[in-house]
Amino acid sequence: MKYSGFDEYSFREYVNKALISARKVLDVNRNPEVAEDQDHSYDDKFAFAEFLSNTFIAAQMNLLENIGMNQDKIEKIYSMVHDDKRSVMIRFQAEDSCKFEKETIADVIQYDSEHITETVQEKSGILGGTSTKTKKDTQRHKVIQKVKESHWRVNLKYRLFCYAGNEPDKNPVELCSRTVSTIITTTGGKVCPRKEKTIHKFLETPLTWLFQNMKPGKKVWNAGFRIDRTAESCRTPRRNDQIESAFKFCTVINKFAKNVNHFFSQTVENDILGSHNPANPKPMPRNLSSMDNSSVFCPILPLFENKDNLAGTASRGENPRSLLVLPANNINSAESPILSIGDIDLFLNEQCRTIQDSFQSLESAFSSSEEKLISSFEAQIFLILTESSKLTEVYGLCINYIENMLKTQLITAIGKKVTPKDFDQFMRFHNRKLFLEQYCPKPFCYSIRRSEDHSPEGLLSIEATNNADSIDPCFTYVKHIDGENALPIKIPLNAATQVQISGERYLHGWMNHKFENHEPLSYQLTARARQFSSFILMIGTVAGPDTFIPKDAIIIQNKDEILIPILLNELPSAKEFKDSIASLSPEQQRFATAFRGMQLESSVFGVCVVQLKPQMEKLLGLTNDSLTKEIKLTQDLMELFSDYQIPSSLLSFDGNTQEESTRIRLDRVKENVKAVMDAIDAAKKKQLEEGKLRAERESRRAEEEDERVRRAEVRFAMVCEARSAPPPPPRKSQQAMDCFTPQDAFARGGIHSPPQAKQIFSASAERESRRAEEELGRAKEEWNRCADRRSSRPQNMVLCAARSAPPPQPMMVCAARSAPPPPSRKIQQAMDCFTPQDAFARGGIHSPPQAKQIFSASTRNDAANDTAETQENNHMDYADTQTITDGTIDFSMIPKQLDQIFETHDTDGSIRSTILETGINWIQIRQPDLLSNSKRSILNESGRKDGKNKAFDLLDALSRSGALPISCAELHIIVAVTHRFENDLMGTVIQDNINPIEKVEKSILMIASMIHQERSATNLLSTTDHRDRLVNSFPELLHLEN
């Protein structure tokens, strides 16, 4: 359960000890038992909670009495609370100081030993005898160290008092105080063990609740705790405002008591007294932590007793010992199994007696000296505060035991712990009895077929998938709308094409209930096709009375199975939305309202199924059922329409449709299909041969181009290498220099000296280098042109050229950097996939340049689709139209009207409109061929987009780009809501005291009446008993027509 805090082991241990103590106090004939073992009513549990709370208050006052509380102080504090209307606080203040007193020298014995020596002497007597004499010498050695001791005067002052409001110095009510001084001795130098003065942080907690639940009596004060069962917040004996306030008081008083005890045990005992370190230490006295409070009796007992065998005291004694007692009217009746007030007086008196006995034991264990920081007085305060903490813990155990008792009894009555799955099964069973047969929720599982006379083409269902062993269909409240009486639905395929469909409509209301701390169910939309069957599945939203905007689409055929995860995104409830915008500005409210209206309208989920065979018959001019048994013809038509995108005019029957028979029409279509298939095969062969020739030519050209570039690179590399060394002269110049001598200088011209000849040769080398660079530049330009042609070449041709070419050199990479940018991604993908084998598959009669134009047109078509999707996503209609328009249901307005109903009748704010969306990864189960097994694959975003494009292309072909309506289609409109509970199932019943069946009944009546367009939900109910019961339960929702 959501709120859990019951420790059954600790409770059982305490009850066993309490029974032993209770039997000592009561008569020997009494036999009280644990509450669950006695017969009692639900009202007795409320009285029991009040009984335990009043006992707790009386026991706490007994503890306060032992630390200074008395009748006068109670009257004064009671007046602060009830007359002055002030809160009352109890505060603990303390301070200490340390001052040097004196310094002394102490003798510390370091070594102490004793040595005994015996001496024996013998003497001869006169008569010849001898006598012995023993002498003992004792020597004692002692080593004494002189240690300097510092003596410090430590003063401790504390007080415990109550005050009103925030004025602790104005008329405080002091409970106890003490000022004490003692000497602390330290060694090791004159170092102060404490600060000169320390004012400790005060500790305080409110006592207001304790005195609010007290009433003055004739002789003593009475505990006045009562549970207001008429309050709306009162759920159970444990879950109500009064018990919650008591638990808050227990929390703060428990913390206060432990903090004060921590001051005495840690600050005083460990820190202050722990610094006492004399040269000759003495045994430490008993400390506070070793105290045992088990001897103090706890009067809070979760016991019942059968009043038929009651032989105890039913009335109060004359002189109760406690300051505060239980009121006489706390026990409701003589039949109540709760213990009597006389018994409680005995228990409270026993508490007082055991406290006094414990005090006497503490006086003997702790010194009562005025110079002891921890004396018997501090020990008594420590005991009282420890017992106060114990009382709060026992009280919490006993109150939580009442709730645990409810849980145990409910599980015993049902025989098991009910789970959300059990609740869901019960609601299915209950709804079959609650509603008339035509209004009962039905499983969302539909066969895809033309009519009852035809076999199903496939199956469409929404299923819960958390349990792998069993998959349960979801149940919805469904209204069937005849397609003949409904307007056609428009489906935009792109910005230029809009298809009209007609057929059966189904309006579904899906109620999903959800409990806290429970893993929500996962749902999936499942679509299956049978062998040699096909249909198109579209998923999207309904944007008006006649518009369906598909977000995803896919062709399902030949035993394909698609599993589409469905995500449930809950919107805030109508009550939460209203409360959230209450403090916003008018502009902010209008913005939030408009945006919520868009969210509600977009929550209408749509699933459209288009059957292909009937539309093909209509498109090709065939009669109904012509393709039912034509399996091969149907498969060929699917291939031509979806793969090759052949226009329907090349395949359809062109004769007089009224005079020609079915067989003639069918034969004519077969002939057309065969002619187109033959043309496709011929074109494939021709383009395959042409493709091979083009590949060979391109391969040779690529080799030549690569050879030219390679030669230019080698030449340029040689020139670059020559630049790093003295430039070599050209070949002819080098030969001339080799044979040059001074003797034949004049013979060769005689006009140049050797230095002048070298300058001529260097100039010639530079001209040769520039010529090589120019040639390399031309090679680069040629390489760029080659790269451009290579990018436009079909992929297989490029591969052939690449196989025959050597690996690229570094300089080739440099040249490639200057190449123009590649084509766009979508056109490049189309070119990469282009081969001679599939040339005709993309048109068959086009050359490669024409194919590029086709692919560019395809890219523009994709852009148009993206534009349509953008228009869909940006769709927001602010007009508040009516649900019924000219006899046609505006499905997009149903969530908005449901939201208005929820705002009026859902006072808990637990019903939330829910947006259905498809998940990211779809699962596709496909059998590649008849001889292989089915394979499971994941359809990611890219795969879904490809499937959507293929489905839209097929719809475009079957409808002649929107000119031919599609008549054989089904549209399922789903409006989903979620009833969310704040607790888990058992916690909702036990802790919140809510019957989830009634809450869900109210929710389903609201959604069922809206789905079935019934003015009164009573018209949906099966029997008058259900009508009367629900009218009494929900009179504001249900009304009977006259």
pLDDT of res. 782:
61
Q: Give the mean pLDDT of 366-391.
A: 90
pLDDT of res. 795:
42
Q: Which has the minimum average pLDDT: 122-136, 214-228, 248-262, 444-458?
A: 122-136
Nearest 5°: phi and psi at 375? Answer: -110, -170
Question: Euclidean distance between the first and final Cα of the chain, in Å?
Answer: 46
pLDDT of res. 467:
63
645 pLDDT above the threshold of 90: no
Can you name the residues that pair with 538 across neighbouring β-strands? 553, 608
127 pLDDT above the threshold of 50: yes
pLDDT of res. 295:
87
473 pLDDT above the threshold of 80: yes
Name the residue with higher pLDDT: 479 or 847.
479
Q: Are 523 and 989 in contact (CB under 8 A)?
A: no
603 pLDDT above the threshold of 80: yes
Q: What gap in Å lies between CA 972 and CA 476, rounded to an integer? A: 11
Q: Are 315 and 344 in contact (CB under 8 A)?
A: no
Give CA torsion, residues 835, 837, 843, 848, to 10 deg. Answer: 40
Q: Are 896 and 596 in contact (CB under 8 A)?
A: no
pLDDT of res. 460:
96
Residue 121, both tokens: 């002497």
pLDDT of res. 234:
95
Q: Which has the minimum average pLDDT: 3-7, 42-46, 436-440, 676-680?
A: 3-7
Measuring CA to CA, which residue among 966, 997, 1003, 1001 is closest to residue 498? 966
Above pLDDT 90, what percent of the chain? 52
| CB neighbours of residue 85 within 10 Å | 9
Q: Give the mean pLDDT of 48-52.
A: 94
Q: Give tens-digit pLDDT for 953-968.
A: 999 999 999 999 999 9
pLDDT of res. 977:
96
Nearest 5°: phi and psi at 166? Answer: -115, 30
Type of residue at 127: L
Q: Give the mean pLDDT of 834-839.
A: 39
Q: Give the mean pLDDT of 358-386.
A: 89
Q: Give the mean pLDDT of 443-468.
A: 89
Q: What gap in Å lies between CA 591 and CA 586, rounded to an integer? A: 9
Q: Are 802 and 654 in contact (CB under 8 A)?
A: no
Q: Which has the minimum average pLDDT: 425-439, 510-524, 712-726?
A: 712-726
pLDDT band at 351 (very low <50, low <70, confident <90, very high): very high
| CB neighbours of residue 873 within 10 Å | 11
pLDDT of res. 490:
94
237 pLDDT above the threshold of 90: yes
Q: Give the mean pLDDT of 250-257.
A: 96
Most confident of 110-114, 587-591, 795-799, 889-893: 587-591
pLDDT of res. 1017:
86
Name the residue with higher pLDDT: 868 or 702.
702
570 pLDDT above the threshold of 90: yes
Q: What gap in Å lies between CA 746 and CA 743, rounded to an integer? A: 7
Q: What gap in Å lies between CA 166 and CA 320, rounded to an integer? A: 35
Most confident of 323-327, 726-730, 828-832, 1017-1021: 1017-1021
Rg for the chain, CA atoms, rounded: 50
pLDDT of res. 307:
72
Can you name the residues that pair with 141 across neighbouring β-strands? 113
pLDDT of res. 971:
96
**pTM, to two decimals:** 0.74
Q: How far is CA 987 from CA 44, 168, 211, 269, 314, in A?
A: 21, 44, 33, 47, 37
pLDDT band at 841 (very low <50, low <70, confident <90, very high): very low
Q: Which residue has the tokens 């014995």?
A: 109
Q: Give tens-digit pLDDT for 164-196.
A: 999 999 999 999 999 999 999 998 888 888 899
Q: What gap in Å lies between CA 939 and CA 806, rounded to an integer? A: 41
Q: What gap in Å lies between CA 499 and CA 511, rounded to an integer? A: 32
Q: Which has the minimum average pLDDT: 231-245, 304-318, 462-476, 573-587?
A: 304-318
pLDDT of res. 803:
38
- Give the burial string for 482-498 (b: 16+ CB within 10 Å, else e): ebeebbbbbbbbbeebe
pLDDT of res. 757:
43
Q: Which has the minimum average pLDDT: 109-113, 213-217, 583-587?
A: 109-113
Q: Give tens-digit pLDDT for 755-779.
A: 444 454 455 556 655 666 666 666 5
Residue 254, both tokens: 């428990």
Measuring CA to CA, which residue among 580, 553, 574, 575 is closest to residue 564? 553
960 dihedral zone (left: phi>0; alpha: psi -120 to 50; beta): left
Q: What gap in Å lies between CA 175 and CA 64, rounded to an integer? A: 8
- Strand boundaries in 417-497, DSSP class E: 442-443, 445-448, 458-464, 472-473, 475-481, 489-492
288 pLDDT above the threshold of 70: yes
Residue 415, both tokens: 């025989």
416 three-state secondary structure: coil
Q: Which residue has the tokens 């690229």?
A: 808
Name the residue with higher pLDDT: 760 or 103.
103
Q: Which has the minimum average pLDDT: 80-84, 871-875, 905-909?
A: 871-875
Q: What gap in Å lies between CA 373 and CA 379, rounded to an integer? A: 10
Kindly report the average pLDDT of the chain as a whole number: 82
pLDDT of res. 738:
46
Residue 565, both tokens: 């995860």
318 pLDDT above the threshold of 90: no
- Strand boundaries in 467-597, DSSP class E: 472-473, 475-481, 489-492, 498-514, 523-529, 534-542, 548-557, 561-570
Q: Give tens-digit pLDDT for 659-674.
A: 568 888 889 999 999 9
Handedness of CA 856, 858, 862, 863 (dihedral sign): positive
SS3 track for 685-747: HHHHHHHHHHHHHHHHHHHHHHHHHHHHHHHHHHHHHHHHCCCCCCHHHHHHHHCCCCCCCHH
Q: Are 728 and 765 in contact (CB under 8 A)?
A: yes
Measuring CA to CA, which residue among 334, 325, 244 is closest to residue 47? 334
994 pLDDT above the threshold of 90: yes
Q: Give the mean pLDDT of 852-864.
A: 41
Residue 491, both tokens: 């489906």
Strands 221-223 and 324-325, by their bridges, are parallel
Name the residue with higher pLDDT: 283 or 496.
496
Above pLDDT 70, what percent of the chain? 79
621 dihedral zone (left: phi>0; alpha: psi -120 to 50; beta): left
pLDDT of res. 850:
39
Name the residue with higher pLDDT: 536 or 732.
536
pLDDT of res. 852:
37
pLDDT of res. 875:
38
pLDDT of res. 785:
59
pLDDT of res. 334:
64
pLDDT band at 676 (very low <50, low <70, confident <90, very high): very high
H helix or E strand, kind and range, residue 387: helix 376-414
- How deeply is 414 buried, as exposed, middle or buried, from its count of CB atoms within 10 A (0-12, 13-18, 19+)? exposed
- Give the burial string for 611-641 (b: 16+ CB within 10 Å, else e): bbbbbbbbbbbbbeebbeebeebbebbbebb
Q: Which has the minimum average pLDDT: 239-248, 251-260, 877-886?
A: 877-886
Strands 303-304 and 33-34, by their bridges, are antiparallel
Q: Give the mean pLDDT of 773-796.
A: 56
- Give the burial string for 985-1023 (b: 16+ CB within 10 Å, else e): bbbbbbbbebebeebbbbbbbbbbbbbbeeeebbebbbe
